[in-house]
């Protein structure tokens, strides 16, 4: 059985007691749904004691280095949701309380209900499980190629009343404004940040279902420092900066003030449970917040015995979960007065695994004996090292740095080399340097990329099909739109554009080589003080794109107008990859706009902090294509006569290009078929020999 499919049994789960929660006795991980700044989302199948099975989404709070660093700087404590039982329980009750408030006052939305919380020993992290929501993110609005002209016309005359429904992002932002106001007014100030429209990534916290929107995330990853109103709220609460903070007095008075409205939608038992959840939320939130150092959060409390007791209890609980110290040691430190002066505590101030290693050696008898055995028993030492190496190799395989069976489970020069590469190189470059099969394949594809016109075209087609499929799976494209795009992609007239686009995309095959050159150029610039070396390497790919476009113009004999836009756009860093999508716009507008929108979407997702899937940054980036579409439309209107001339000569030039390509294809047909088959398999497409033969016939 695959390691991810191995079910956890009752004594492995570490389920924490919470009111109204489920208590699974077995959990099987099905797949990873995604990674956020603070947590990994996993789809799991859980089973109760009575045998009932259900799907849930587990948020495993294992934040990356940047998130941990930001939290540590803000609160001088470890990331709370990863290691603090009160914090994770507060998140459980927060969702339950928010769910009732939203049900009563904003019934057009709801909250994904929490199911249980637990400590995952394998991940060394807290877990919050909630119901599995089958929904989708924001669907971008269709292209509006008259946006600027309509706005200009609206400035000089009264705009006409539009019967069109508002864009989906506008509907969502309107709902978020309502939810934010409701949560802040009820005293759940920090939770308002998770649905705040000014937090650019918060739109990803809601999914659209057939029955409306569902809030699937009410747990922050970073403090609320990007919106001035939440900074001001932090001053008022004397809790800087805010991080899912609660105003207990305001929540209590709000519940009492709206008792009648709440009782109108809740039964007596439900209302009693709601009040109990609110009390427990306040209790766990206070235990969490008052146990953190957080020098900007009422600093005078740091000198009180209450803070020392809470801090001590939290640290000891963490040591218990992580097996830092023996139970007897924990009990003696809990009951005794020697805690802050103990060597165990001071060793814990050493960051990372090194500090925990020293702590365990001092306070954990079993661990200390294991270290002694590791030093004196060669067989045991080899076993421990083999387990460590095997775990690292599995991790590198999941990150696609190594292939299965590539490295033997033994410590040696090869393992040390791979460990070093994993720390200093991206996955693609690591794989290139360490995997001869992968390197051979890339060299073969680079060779075919240079000599085979069909490989260039089909590479471009495959990439475009994969992006169409991705948008379709995300429900951003309907069946009719997918069919229209695929029909344009199969049109013989698009071949030259797809070939040029494929050649530009194919430059990614050179990325390991180009990345090395960029690193070398940066080093040379630093050493010499001359920025030319780095700038030259930075412009290497744009120069290659320009060379490819010039070569295609002279190889086909087509008019300059057929390559003019591609030449201009291709010279730009980063965005130069959309050169041919811009060029193909006048003849294949739907396909052209889709590729440009897809490129803008990926840029929006890549932006640190503010970006991500379904964020307002991504949707805004996609919206910028409206300006490009309008500019192209105006440009083609001005140059309409030249476009007609080019269109009349299209068949002749395409046939000439195909004839030149066919002579090359005949030499490498078998190799081209083999690599295209592998590329389709890597992309998740079904590849058959008949499909490859039909591609070859079409090319011939």
DSSP-based three-state secondary structure for 630: helix
Whole-angstrom distance, CA of residue 294 vs CA of residue 282 = 19
Give how many domains the chain has, as a whole number.
4
Cis peptide before 538 (omega within 30 of 0): no
Q: Please give the DSSP secondary-structure letter assigned to residue 15.
A: B
What are the 10-residue block averages of pLDDT along the chain, 700 residues in total?
48 85 93 89 93 95 91 94 96 97 95 96 94 93 86 74 72 94 95 91 93 94 88 90 94 96 94 96 96 91 92 93 92 84 90 89 93 91 88 86 71 84 84 84 82 83 92 92 91 80 66 63 70 70 80 78 75 71 80 89 84 90 89 73 41 42 55 86 65 48
What six digits make up the tokens of 686?
A: 């079904």
278 closest CA partner among 22, 102, 96: 96
478 closest CA partner among 622, 630, 618, 590: 590
Q: Are residues 184 and 239 in the same domain?
A: yes
Output phi, psi for 391, to 5 deg.
-65, -40
499 closest CA partner among 533, 568, 453, 534: 453
284 closest CA partner among 293, 296, 276, 272: 276
pLDDT at position 139: 92
Whole-angstrom distance, CA of residue 616 vs CA of residue 205 = 11
Q: Is residue 148 part of a domain?
A: no
Whole-angstrom distance, CA of residue 176 vs CA of residue 156 = 33
Judge contact between 115 and 350, C-beta under 8 A.
Answer: no
pLDDT at position 516: 62
Q: Are residues 22 and 117 in the same domain?
A: yes
Q: Are residues 17 and 45 in the same domain?
A: yes
- What is the b/e burial string over 167-199, where b = at least 16 CB atoms within 10 angstroms of the residue's CB? bebeebbebbebbbebbbebbbbbbbbbbbbbb
Residue whose entry in the numeric block shows the structure tokens 């959990």: 27
Distance, CA of 85 to chain centre: 26
78 closest CA partner among 259, 264, 294: 294
- Among 337, 353, 373, give the residue marking a domain's end: 373
Q: Is residue 222 part of a domain?
A: yes
Whole-angstrom distance, CA of residue 700 vs CA of residue 696 = 6
Q: Are residues 22 and 37 in the same domain?
A: yes
Judge contact between 183 and 191, C-beta under 8 A.
Answer: yes
Q: Are residues 490 and 589 in the same domain?
A: yes
Q: Are residues 530 and 663 in the same domain?
A: yes
Judge contact between 220 and 195, C-beta under 8 A.
Answer: no
Residue whose entry in the numeric block shows the structure tokens 């005359």: 157
Whole-angstrom distance, CA of residue 206 vs CA of residue 204 = 5
Whole-angstrom distance, CA of residue 331 vs CA of residue 318 = 13
- Among 260, 289, 318, give the residue marking a domain's end: 289
Residue whose entry in the numeric block shows the structure tokens 């229209």: 484
Q: Is residue 160 part of a domain?
A: no
Q: Is residue 149 part of a domain?
A: no
What six digits make up the tokens of 395?
A: 């991790």
Q: Is residue 138 part of a domain?
A: no
Q: Are residues 420 and 280 in the same domain?
A: no
Q: Is residue 87 part of a domain?
A: yes
Q: Are residues 364 and 477 in the same domain?
A: no
- Among 256, 289, 322, give the residue marking a domain's end: 289
Q: Are residues 644 and 524 in the same domain?
A: yes
Helix ranges, 79-213 (H):
80-83, 85-105, 147-156, 168-185, 189-193
pLDDT at position 668: 66
Q: Are residues 492 and 628 in the same domain?
A: yes
pLDDT at position 665: 43
Q: Is residue 229 part of a domain?
A: yes
pTM score: 0.81
Q: Please give the DSSP secondary-structure letter assigned to residue 476.
A: S
Whole-angstrom distance, CA of residue 24 vs CA of residue 272 = 25
Whole-angstrom distance, CA of residue 113 vs CA of residue 96 = 7
Cα-based distances in Å from 487 to 456, 469, 501 = 19, 14, 17
How many Cα neighbours within 13 Å face the side chain of 678?
12
Name the region of 381 (left: φ>0; alpha: ψ -120 to 50; beta: rest). alpha
Adjacency order of strands within the sheet including 109-111: 109-111, 212-215, 206-209
Structural domain of 10: 3-132+165-289
Whole-angstrom distance, CA of residue 73 vs CA of residue 297 = 13
Q: Which residues pair with 207 in a beta bridge?
A: 214
Q: Are residues 412 and 466 in the same domain?
A: no
DSSP-based three-state secondary structure for 60: strand
Q: Are residues 553 and 454 in the same domain?
A: yes
Q: Which helix (H) or strand (E) holds 207?
A: strand 206-209
Q: Is residue 154 part of a domain?
A: no
């Amino acid at each position: 059985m695959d390691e991810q499919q191995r079910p956890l049994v009752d004594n492995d789960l570490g389920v924490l007691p919470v009111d109204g929660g489920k208590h699974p006795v077995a959990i099987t991980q099905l797949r990873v749904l995604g990674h956020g700044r603070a947590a990994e989302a996993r789809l799991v199948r859980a089973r109760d004691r009575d045998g009932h099975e259900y799907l849930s989404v587990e948020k495993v709070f294992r934040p990356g280095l940047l998130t941990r660093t930001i939290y540590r700087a803000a609160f001088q404590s470890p990331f709370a949701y990863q290691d603090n039982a009160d914090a994770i329980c507060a998140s459980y009750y927060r969702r339950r309380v928010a769910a009732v408030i939203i049900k009563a006052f904003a019934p057009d939305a709801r909250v994904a209900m929490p199911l249980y919380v637990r400590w995952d020993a394998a991940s060394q992290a807290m877990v919050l499980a909630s119901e599995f929501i089958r929904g989708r993110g924001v669907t971008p609005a269709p292209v509006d190629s008259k946006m600027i002209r309509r706005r200009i016309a609206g400035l000089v005359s009264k705009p006409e009343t539009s019967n069109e429904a508002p864009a989906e992002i506008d509907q969502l932002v309107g709902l978020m404004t309502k939810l934010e106001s409701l949560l802040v007014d009820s005293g759940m100030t920090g939770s308002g940040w998770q649905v705040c429209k000014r937090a650019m990534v918060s739109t990803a916290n809601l999914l659209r279902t057939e029955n409306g929107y569902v809030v699937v995330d009410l747990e922050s990853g970073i403090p609320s420092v990007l919106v001035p109103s939440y900074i001001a709220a932090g001053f008022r609460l004397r809790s800087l900066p805010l991080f899912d903070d609660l105003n207990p007095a305001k929540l209590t008075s709000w519940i009492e003030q709206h008792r009648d409205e709440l009782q109108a939608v809740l039964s007596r038992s439900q209302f009693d449970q709601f009040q109990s959840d609110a009390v427990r939320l306040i209790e766990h939130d206070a235990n969490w917040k008052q146990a953190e150092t957080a020098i900007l959060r009422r600093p005078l409390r740091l000198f009180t015995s209450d803070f020392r007791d809470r801090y001590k209890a939290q640290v000891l609980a963490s040591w218990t979960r992580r097996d830092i110290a023996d139970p007897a040691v924990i009990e003696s430190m809990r009951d005794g007065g020697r805690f802050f002066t103990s060597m165990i505590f001071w060793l814990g101030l050493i960051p990372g695994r090194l500090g925990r290693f020293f702590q365990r050696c001092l306070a954990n008898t079993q661990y200390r004996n294991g270290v002694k055995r590791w030093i004196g028993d060669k067989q045991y030492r080899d076993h421990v090292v083999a387990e460590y190496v095997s775990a690292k190799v599995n991790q590198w395989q999941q990150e696609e740095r190594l292939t299965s069976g590539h490295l033997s489970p033994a410590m040696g020069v090869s393992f040390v080399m791979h460990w070093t590469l994993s720390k200093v190189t991206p996955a693609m470059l690591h794989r290139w340097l360490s995997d001869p099969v992968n390197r051979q394949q890339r060299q073969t594809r680079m060779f075919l990329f240079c000599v085979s016109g069909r490989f260039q075209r089909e590479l471009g087609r495959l990439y475009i099909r994969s992006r169409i499929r991705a948008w379709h799976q995300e429900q951003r494209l309907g069946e009719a739109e997918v069919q229209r795009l695929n029909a344009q992609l199969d049109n013989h007239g698009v071949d030259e554009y797809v070939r040029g686009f494929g050649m530009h995309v194919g430059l990614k095959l050179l990325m390991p080589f180009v990345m090395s050159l960029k690193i070398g150029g940066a080093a040379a610039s630093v050493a010499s003080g001359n920025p030319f070396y780095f700038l030259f390497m930075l412009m290497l790919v744009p120069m290659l794109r320009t060379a490819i476009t010039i070569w295609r113009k002279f190889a086909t004999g087509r008019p300059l107008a057929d390559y003019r836009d591609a030449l201009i756009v291709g010279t730009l860093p980063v965005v130069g990859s959309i050169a041919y999508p811009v060029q193909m716009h006048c003849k294949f507008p739907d396909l052209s706009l889709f590729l440009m929108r897809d490129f803008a979407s990926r840029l929006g997702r890549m932006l640190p902090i503010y970006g991500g899937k379904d964020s307002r940054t991504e949707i805004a980036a996609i919206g910028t294509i409206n300006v490009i579409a309008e500019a192209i439309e105006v440009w083609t209107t001005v140059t309409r006569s030249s476009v007609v001339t080019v269109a009349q000569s299209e068949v002749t030039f395409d046939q000439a290009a195909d004839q030149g390509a066919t002579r090359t294809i005949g030499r490498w047909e078998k190799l081209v078929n083999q690599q295209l088959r592998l590329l389709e398999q890597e992309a998740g497409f079904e590849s058959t020999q008949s499909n490859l033969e039909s591609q070859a016939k079409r090319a011939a």
